[in-house]
Structure 1
Amino acid sequence: MSIPQSGGGVIEHFGQLAEMMEAGNKPKSEWRIGTEHEKFGWLTDSRRPLPYAGAASISTLFTELSSRYGWTPVREGENTIGLTRNGANISLEPGGQFELSGAAVANMNETAAELQTHFDEVRSIADPLGIRFMGIGAAPEWGHSDMPVMPKGRYRLMTDYMGRVGTHGTQMMYRTSTVQVNLDYASEADMVKKLRVSLALQPVATALFASSPFFDGKLNGHKSWRSRIWRGLDNSRTGMLPFAFDEGFGFQAYVDWVLDVPMYFVYRDGKYINALGQSFRDFLKGELPAMPGEKPTLSDWADHMTTVFPEARVKKYIEMRGADCGDQAHINALPAFWVGLMYDQTALDAAWDLVKGFDAETREGLRVAASVDALQGAANGVKLLDLARAAVALSHAGLAARGMDEERFLAPLMQSIATGQTQADRWLALYNGAWGKSLTPIYEAASL
């Protein structure tokens, strides 16, 4: 979940909405990689989720990271809700998932170094306190009532609204974790091709990174329950964006879709004002019921853009959103996979050739199949294992062409391609075998 955005002053004309996205255009020499991952904290003496306050808590981690390692606190009211340092930030998901949003870096070697530094710093504080973290797509045993609630106004509003518009919204907020990467585009045409490829291949990422076969203390019938949750959340703001494949799609068409997504809030003077279900189009006319007579700022628009959750999302860059969190190697593999496909033109063109024949039914079918069966899934004659093999090969070639020794980060994906087994498959085999259908061992098995 995002922190309040900084976009600019009052919106003077409608074209500024698309212009904000267009401002993300960058020459290839300035393309960067921004990786985000969420993880569950847990207490080793009880296997309970990490609370916000107390001796062994998120608050203690924030305090010590600030004093020892130079992170600057971000506060909402009296509470520290995040940290910033050198273009990176640490933030909290609704159930206390501890998120690193990395700085924009030039290559995968810098991404991996940043991740290692993060783990080294966090472990130096967490280990003596009996705190560990899990890299897994969904909390395997904890119920909704077990989860701590973070002191963020945005989340209080969203929790209420999620219960009205879907069946799985609060599960997503409080009991799932993901890894994402943010990548740049050069132009509107480049954005369009990258978004189409990333949407069509998002089921491959879901399959390769599937790590959530357990929920509520039992098997859930899916290898990525996190992905299943997104299919029962809020159809107005999620999904595979079939309109992105229409002729003429571009910045304005994306803006038009976001404008039709109901609002959550307006952020003013450190507070979240309830605008649940209201229209940003009305806001543009000064007719928002929550703030009658007021016109929105570009910061308000930037905030609203963070409340849409498709499988790939556009802001001033593109976010790849389809993967469960996993171990450290998989956290690095996710950005490597997409960088290889997106940042080499030959690989990107070949990836588009791979998927351009898919219709909306096939793309959605693959999304469903990936959540249920991971690499063993298929839709309309397209087998996810075959598609993943081809996509990973293209990514490997794209990374090799960059000449930075980044292709090594694809190793866990290549192993999954060779065996057909994902993290979820391996854990299921252990659960049904050596673990004796107990989930107690998952905490250690998934530890970061």
Structure 2
Amino acid sequence: MSIPQQGGGPIERREQLAEYIASGEKPRAGWRIGTEHEKFGFDWARLEPLPYDGPCSIRAMLEGLRDRFGWTELREGGRLIGLSRDGANVSLEPGGQLELSGAPLETLHQTHAETVQHLAEVAEIAGPMGAGFMGLGAAPVWRQDQMPMMPKGRYALMTPYMEKVGTLGTQMMYRTCTVQVNLDYGSEADMVQKLRVALSLQPVATALMASSPFLDGRPNGMKSWRAHIWQNLDAARTGMLPFVFEDGFGYEAWVDYVIDVPMYFVYRDGRYIDALGQSFRDFMNGRLPALPGELPTLSDWADHMTTVFPEARVKKYIEMRGADCGPLSHLTALPALWVGLCYDQGALDAASELTRGWTHETREGLRRAAARDGLAGEHDGLRLIDLARETLTLAEAGLAARGHHAPGQGAGDETAYLAVLRERVERGETLADELLAKFGGEWQGNLGRIYADCAY
């Protein structure tokens, strides 16, 4: 979940909303890679989630990172809730999931180095306090009532609202983790092409990265329970967005969508004001019940844009949001997949051609098949393992065309980060499949074994 945004001053014209998005356009030379990943913290002694306070806790984790590694703290209501350093942020998800929002970087080699450094720093603080962290799409054992709530006003507002819309909203907030990548666009047309490819092929990413086959201590019938959750909560702000594929789609159409998504809050003077279910259109006209007579700022617009959760979304960049978290190899493989597809025009055009003619029903059917069956999923004659194989070939070609080699004599290019996904396709097995096999085999049904197996 996002921290408060800094978008700008008063909104005086509706056109400013689209102009805000357009201000994210960058020339190709300025395109960067921003990788985010969340992870579950737990107490090794009890194998329970870390509370916010205490000697083995989230707060102790943040304080240790701050004091030992030069992070600058972010507080809300006097409570330490985040850190920043050199363009990167560490923040908290509702149930204490620790998130790194990486700095905008030029190459996947830099992305990988950033992730390795972050996990090493986390381990150095976590080890002495008896904590561990693991990357999976959903908490495999912990019940909903075991999850702590982090001291952020945004979450206190969202939790009761999520209990009223859809069926699995609070599970999403408290018991899931993702890895995603944020990529730039050069123009409105470039944004449209990338967003259409992102939405169409998001089921492929979901299938390749599936890692959440357990919930409440047993198999849940899905390869990605996290992806299943997103199909069963607030329909007003989630989904595959068929309007994106209509003629004439662009910045204004995205504004039309976001402006009609019911609000969560307005952030003022360090606190979150309840605006649940209220209308940003009313806010634009000075008729927001939460703040009568007040008009929004671009910072309010930027905040509101963070409360829409489709499979891919637009801010001043595009977020690819469809993947479960996983081991270190996955944390660079996911951005490698999308950078390969989107940052080389030949690969992007080929990906557009691969998905040309798909209907909303096709995309939605693949989305549901990916959550349920992973790489074994299929819909309407399309097999996800075949699509994954083709998609990886395009991504590899795109990364090879970028020609970014790691530092050092004879070092390889960025295609190396796709190796784990290529291996999964060749074996036809996701991480979820591997974990289910261990559960039914060497673990003998004991999910307590998953902590050591999946810890960083």
Which TM bucket (shorter chain)? over 0.9
Give the equivalent residue in structure 1 for 2:324: 324
Q: 1:408 aligns with which of 416, 426, 449?
A: 416
CA distance in 1 between counterparts of 2:61 and 2:436 reads: 32
- Please report how far the alpha carbon of residue 446 of structure 1 lies from its aligned counterpart in structure 2 after TM superposition: 1.1
- Please report how far the alpha carbon of residue 437 of structure 1 lies from its aligned counterpart in structure 2 after TM superposition: 1.3
Does residue 253 of structure 2 align to residue 245 of structure 1? no
- Please report how far the alpha carbon of residue 64 of structure 1 lies from its aligned counterpart in structure 2 after TM superposition: 1.3
SS at match of 1:165: coil
Give the equivalent residue in structure 2 for 1:91: 91
Q: Could you tell which deviates more after superposition, 121-130 or 243-252?
A: 121-130
CA distance in 1 between counterparts of 2:176 and 2:52 reads: 17
SS at match of 2:48: coil
- Please report how far the alpha carbon of residue 50 of structure 1 lies from its aligned counterpart in structure 2 after TM superposition: 1.0
Give the equivalent residue in structure 2 for 1:423: 431
Matched to 2:261, the amino acid is V
TM alignment of 1:182-261, pairs within 5 A: 182-261=182-261
Does residue 449 of structure 2 align to residue 441 of structure 1? yes
Matched to 1:82, the amino acid is G
Q: Could you tell which deviates more after superposition, 236-245 or 120-129?
A: 120-129
Give the equivalent residue in structure 1 for 2:270: 270
Give the equivalent residue in structure 1 for 2:409: none
CA distance in 2 between counterparts of 1:38 and 1:332 reads: 13
Identity fraction in percent = 63
SS at match of 1:180: strand
Aligned residues: 448
What's the TM-score, normalizing by structure 1? Answer: 1.00
Give the equivalent residue in structure 1 for 2:18: 18
- Please report how far the alpha carbon of residue 31 of structure 1 lies from its aligned counterpart in structure 2 after TM superposition: 0.1
CA distance in 2 between counterparts of 1:153 and 1:73 reads: 17
TM alignment of 1:77-156, pairs within 5 A: 77-156=77-156
What's the TM-score, normalizing by structure 2? Answer: 0.98
SS at match of 2:164: helix
SS at match of 2:258: helix
Give the equivalent residue in structure 2 for 1:340: 340
Give the equivalent residue in structure 1 for 2:394: 394
Cα-to-partner distance string for 1:79-113 (whole Å, 9 max, x where unaligned):
00000000000000000000000000000000001
Give the equivalent residue in structure 2 for 1:160: 160
- Please report how far the alpha carbon of residue 357 of structure 1 lies from its aligned counterpart in structure 2 after TM superposition: 1.6
SS at match of 2:148: coil
SS at match of 2:74: strand
Matched to 2:440, the amino acid is N
Matched to 2:172, the amino acid is M
Give the equivalent residue in structure 1 for 2:408: none
Cα-to-partner distance string for 1:228-255 (whole Å, 9 max, x where unaligned):
0001110000000110000000000010
CA distance in 1 between counterparts of 2:336 and 2:258 reads: 29
- Please report how far the alpha carbon of residue 348 of structure 1 lies from its aligned counterpart in structure 2 after TM superposition: 0.3
- Please report how far the alpha carbon of residue 125 of structure 1 lies from its aligned counterpart in structure 2 after TM superposition: 1.0
- Please report how far the alpha carbon of residue 365 of structure 1 lies from its aligned counterpart in structure 2 after TM superposition: 0.1
SS at match of 2:84: strand
SS at match of 2:366: helix
CA distance in 1 between counterparts of 2:93 and 2:362 reads: 32
- Please report how far the alpha carbon of residue 183 of structure 1 lies from its aligned counterpart in structure 2 after TM superposition: 0.1
CA distance in 1 between counterparts of 2:190 and 2:120 reads: 37
CA distance in 2 between counterparts of 1:353 and 1:442 reads: 41
CA RMSD of aligned residues (A): 0.5
Cα-to-partner distance string for 1:110-167 (whole Å, 9 max, x where unaligned):
0001011101111111111111101100000101110111000000000010011110
CA distance in 1 between counterparts of 2:55 and 2:429 reads: 40
SS at match of 2:354: helix
- Please report how far the alpha carbon of residue 309 of structure 1 lies from its aligned counterpart in structure 2 after TM superposition: 0.1
- Please report how far the alpha carbon of residue 391 of structure 1 lies from its aligned counterpart in structure 2 after TM superposition: 0.3
Task: Please list every run of 5 or more consecutive structure 2 residues that lacks an aligned counterpart in the other structure.
Answer: 405-412
CA distance in 2 between counterparts of 1:231 and 1:247 reads: 26
CA distance in 2 between counterparts of 1:304 and 1:20 reads: 13
Q: Find runs of 4+ consecutive structure 1 residues off by over 4 angstroms.
A: none
- Please report how far the alpha carbon of residue 190 of structure 1 lies from its aligned counterpart in structure 2 after TM superposition: 0.2
Matched to 2:453, the amino acid is A
Matched to 1:50, the amino acid is L
CA distance in 2 between counterparts of 1:420 and 1:63 reads: 42
SS at match of 2:321: strand
SS at match of 1:310: coil
Task: Please list every run of 5 or more consecutive structure 1 residues that lacks an aligned counterpart in the other structure.
Answer: none
CA distance in 2 between counterparts of 1:285 and 1:28 reads: 38
Give the equivalent residue in structure 2 for 1:36: 36
SS at match of 1:182: strand
